[in-house]
Amino acid sequence: MGRAFEIEKRSRRSRRVITAISATLLLSLGSANCYSPTQVTVALSTDLDCAEGPRTRIYKGLPSKYETAPEAEVTTCNPSVGEAQIGTLVFVPSGSSDSAASVRVVLARGGKAPAECDSDPANCIIATRSFSFVEHAARNVPIRLLRDCLGTKCGEGETCVAGGRCISNRVECTGDDCGLPGEPPPDGTRPPNDGGSIDTGRPPLDGDVLRDGSVDVDADEPDVIVDVPACVPAGGSDIIATTTDMPVHTGTGTTHHFWIADNTPIDVKVMSVPKDGGTATSIYDGIAPVQGVDEAPFGLAASGNTAVVAYGNGSSTASVWNGTLYSAPSGMTKVSAVASRGPGRIALAGTNGTVQERTAASPFKSVLSANAVSLAADPSFYWAATASGITRIDTAPGTPATIAVAGAPPNALLATGTNDVVHAAAKESAKTTWGIWRVSNAGSPSVEPLVTGRAAVTSLASDATHVYWTESDELWRVASGGGAAQKIFAQAGVALDRVTVDADCVYFWTKRSVGPAALRRGPRKPFATISAGP
């Protein structure tokens, strides 16, 4: 059965009833544990005047993947001290309690319809938030629809904030209160939920009548259920694709997996397969093979629904392909790493001792003078791992700004998730064992160890809540905030490598000593078995 998350709307009266019932249960059960619900309450407010006639639509979905039909439309707001209140929605996971979700809010004023805002953002405010549920935590996420953002349409994974700036839409939480980094709620407090619960139009059950005449559903009944694809559907296979050998490089995009396959010494291709499985197809076969293809200077990064691939043979300028073919920067004959910050924005590290960025509007330019062995990207920065540590690269308009992360390990594998945190895996100083580190992206980057004393880490990935890695025939994870390492899966005698993760599943490749390699999927928490496979 597919996993889902639900949205509930609850009136203040419903919440009082829940509180009273909980108190009664607590008294009757004596020493029994009482847990908070697993939910996220989204409170909408605006600094527009209600007389401007705002109309607001709310869309739900997964990170960077919103449903096309709105779940609710609000045609009024309630004047309040500081900012006008629009209303609240309660998101509840019905499956995994560490699921990720997103909300997109579109406000139009002056008689304009919200449906027109995507094609013409004038007189519109568009805000998004991505967040994660935490088991037994009732989190609060305010969304402020600001006048500064009228006419601003940010890129994927970004939202508009004060000053009309676009920043990552991923919230950070202190306790149960969440918000965007550097943007406190009005007056430094959480906005009051006095806009009323937002009516999603579901036929009423046995709820309360709100002051706007709509009917609020009882607190125990969901208004809307959003189906999320199951990680491994009932009766389905965990095997997504197979190839002759362990891929050289891999990436997971919005809808597809990508890898560089070296099926024979003269057959090097970029392959693609839908996340849910299907026919694997070659999307590019122009890579010139070089001696010892497993050590070849290739790089691959997933970018939305496609891949960015860079390669060179060491004797002439390297090539880059992301749907079209073009040349790497002059002097870069081999490529050691590739990263992408969205369509048209890529960074390369190569043999000329620089990291170079290219955008859809400008050619390659140097953003760091160093030999990088690994690159990663989040919506705001590139991250480069070198022999001297880790460097954060800010490529906002103007001269690129770099900050060296104090205490970071050298020559690390890097991974970014959706929580503005970078994870690094590297050998521990003066040891043969490996460690996993967390690099905070707030203000001046700082580093702290998460796991020490590991066997060699062969691949690394992270999402909003955890970092994942492979060791020989084992797959592990640890919470981004720290804690005990947890083995997700192990299969004796089978090599595990090339781990990636999204909001639904963890993906990894397996290879026996004899036979093809297989791309597999599993839940993002410990599981016992997978099919025998090839």
In a domain, 287, yes or no: yes
Q: What is the pLDDT of residue 528?
A: 62
Q: What is the pLDDT of residue 15?
A: 29
- Side-chain-side CA neighbours of 482 within 13 Å: the count stands at 6
Tell me, yes or no, whether 103 and 188 share the same domain.
yes
pLDDT tens for the chain, 534 residues: list them.
Answer: 333 344 444 333 332 222 222 222 222 223 334 567 778 888 899 999 999 999 999 998 776 678 888 888 888 888 877 789 998 888 877 555 666 778 999 999 999 999 999 999 999 999 999 887 777 788 899 999 999 999 999 987 889 999 999 988 888 888 888 888 766 554 444 444 444 555 554 433 233 322 233 323 233 344 444 444 567 665 567 889 998 888 888 999 888 999 987 655 556 788 999 988 889 999 988 776 554 444 455 788 987 788 888 888 777 888 888 888 889 888 898 888 999 987 788 999 988 899 999 988 889 999 999 999 999 998 788 999 999 999 999 887 666 788 889 889 999 999 987 656 889 999 998 899 999 999 987 667 889 999 999 989 999 999 888 999 999 999 999 988 888 999 988 888 899 999 999 877 899 999 988 888 999 988 888 776 565 556
Tell me, yes or no, whether 215 and 282 share the same domain.
no
Tell me, yes or no, whether 176 and 273 share the same domain.
no
Please state, in angstroms and rounded to a whole number, the distance separating the CA atoms of residues 77 and 84.
6
Closest listed residue to residue 259, CA positions, set 273, 249, 246: 249
Between β-strands 239-243 and 250-252, what pairing exists: parallel, antiparallel or unpaired? unpaired
What DSSP line would sit under 105-153, residue for residue? EEEE-TT--GGGTTT--TTEEEEEEEEE--TT-EEEEEEEE-GGGTT--
Tell me, yes or no, whether 208 and 258 share the same domain.
no
Q: By three-state DSSP, how is residue 76 classified?
A: coil
The conformation of residue 198, written as its DSSP 8-state character, comes to P
Q: What is the pLDDT of residue 245?
A: 86
Tell me, yes or no, whether 380 and 410 share the same domain.
yes
Please state, in angstroms and rounded to a whole number, the distance separating the CA atoms of residues 505 and 529.
15
The conformation of residue 406, written as its DSSP 8-state character, comes to T
With vertex at residue 501, the alpha carbon angle to CA 495 and CA 505, rounded to the nearest 5 degrees, is 95
Domain of residue 319, residue span:
239-522
Domain end call among 187, 206, 228:
228
Tell me, yes or no, whether 223 and 245 share the same domain.
no
- CATH label of the domain that carries residue 312: 2.130.10.10
In a domain, 233, yes or no: no
In a domain, 530, yes or no: no
Tell me, yes or no, whether 306 and 222 share the same domain.
no
Tell me, yes or no, whether 289 and 385 share the same domain.
yes
In a domain, 374, yes or no: yes
**Contact yes or no for 305/333 (Cβ under 8 A):** no
Tell me, yes or no, whether 194 and 254 share the same domain.
no
Count up the domains in the chain and report the number. Answer: 2
In a domain, 93, yes or no: yes
- For the chain, the 3-state helix, strand and coil shares in percent, each to the nearest 5, are 5, 45, 45
**Integer CA distances (angstroms), 362 to 151, 311, 346, in order:** 24, 21, 11
Q: By three-state DSSP, how is residue 22 classified?
A: helix
Q: What is the pLDDT of residue 97?
A: 61
In a domain, 95, yes or no: yes
Tell me, yes or no, whether 174 and 265 share the same domain.
no
In a domain, 208, yes or no: yes
Tell me, yes or no, whether 308 and 412 share the same domain.
yes
Q: What is the pLDDT of residue 398?
A: 67
pTM of model > 0.85: no
In a domain, 532, yes or no: no
Q: By three-state DSSP, how is residue 403 classified?
A: strand
Q: What is the pLDDT of residue 267?
A: 61
Tell me, yes or no, whether 332 and 197 share the same domain.
no
